[in-house]
Amino acid sequence: MRLILARLRSNAANLYALTRDNPAQLWRMARALVLGHQKYRGYFLRPEHWRQGESEVRKRLVRNLMRNRGLRLQPVWKKNAIDVLVQRSQGSMSHAAATDKLNALTEKLDTKADVTESYLAFAKACASIGLFEGSYGFVRLASSRIESDFESSSDLRVGMNAVRVAIHQQRADTARARWGRLKDAKVPPGSRDGFDMLGIYMSVWNKALVNPSQSHLSPEVRDWNADIANKRILILGPTLANIDELRADEYDFIAQIFRNRDLIQIPNRETGASREILYVGGLYFELKQLRREDLIARFGRLRHFVINAASSELGLPNTRRADSRLSSLFLRGTPNMIQVMCLDLLTAGAASLYVTGANFYASSEPYAAGEQDGFEKFGFCCAIASHNPSENRAIIANLVDAGVVSGDETFLSVLGLSDLEYLKLLDQYYGVPER
């Protein structure tokens, strides 16, 4: 009994601390108690899950996209949307018909029909099977719901999401005005990283170079910032680049993505020292299997070896982790490697970036033309959806408008598309082809 009472007192203290700093949390808890709590999960939306047969796919979608109130109480629109997803995943409905049905469904929905998280979960489910245009209506509903809540709420989390909406819709003046209302707010510890990252992004977007505060940083991060600050950097995307045509000598550093192939070596002409920065994503786990001597022989000469993963323990003196706060700029999803590189370098104070060999998946091959990895297009839709392509593209488009990022013609042309034009391109290359 004593143990139970102690646990209850502890829970009460935690609840008080949470609601004191964030009163709107009480409403969310009450709503979850009455309507049923639902954590919208996206990890199950992989090719192997979509191929499990109609009954299993339907069961998974119901479990992950509907609130726990019993099927009879579920909104009709959710049932209809799930029917479309099931039929398209099983190939019993064409891509065009599924897109039309989803567009008609979302056009009739009111912003208040459900919560933001629900709309974003449906958007990801649509994109995971290549219904990229069909996902747009749910994204629009989520954004409208956030903006509606922002007008009537003082909740910091809602305010931060409203800034993110303006960022992703490339509305600079609106983003600045909303950020102005928040920048002096009291920030709970759980929101600090996201709040700080928004502040950094807004500073860069406002054409103010980042000068990171050094007092709380480790010596390694301070050295990284000192090395990158005010430098001009060439970023090589996933496709193979002809370095002789890129005027590499005009840049202080060359940053490239590790693609499990020979690296382009670009030493300093005068000193012979490396000017290369290598970013490693998912292939990090393969590198962890190598011996330290092999890693040093392969990567020891690099100026910086940057890991975009939870750990960077490879035993290399030039290794560091990418800024772990970058995902907090997104309503849903995580940054792609080009976005990681741009944001990580600008956060460290880089003066300007030039990107080549990247087109945000807008080609018949993954990543960029000329990159043939042998992949299955239906499965690749899930990978694209997990990164949320529209938000990733908008994050960089704003930085191009600010003049701190530029790139080749292909890179800039994709950034110039509207969201719908871009999503229709993804449909054309990945959503429509037969599975």
pTM of the model as a whole: 0.83
134/144 Cα distance (integer angstroms): 17
User: Could you give the strand order of the β-sheet that contains 352-356, starting from the edge strand earlier in sequence?
Assistant: 319-321, 304-307, 276-280, 253-257, 232-236, 352-356, 405-407
DSSP letters of 146-210? HHHHHHH---HHHHHHHHHHHHHTT-HHHHHHHHHHHTTS---GGGHHHHHHHHHHHHHHTT---
User: Exposed, middle or buried: residue 174 (CB in 10 Å: 0-12, 13-18, 19+)?
Assistant: middle
* pLDDT tens across the length of the chain (435 residues): 666 666 666 656 555 554 554 455 454 445 444 444 456 666 678 888 888 889 999 998 988 888 765 555 678 899 999 999 999 999 899 999 999 999 999 999 988 888 899 999 999 999 999 999 999 999 999 999 999 999 888 889 999 999 999 999 999 999 999 999 898 888 888 889 899 999 989 988 887 555 555 556 677 778 888 889 999 999 988 876 666 667 777 889 999 888 766 666 665 555 555 788 988 887 767 777 777 788 777 777 778 888 887 666 676 777 888 888 888 999 988 888 899 999 999 988 899 999 998 889 888 776 545 455 555 777 788 888 988 889 999 999 999 999 999 999 989 999 999 999 999 999 999 988 765
As given in the structure block, the two tokens for residue 127 are: 């994109």
Number of helical H runs and strand E runs in the chain = 19, 7
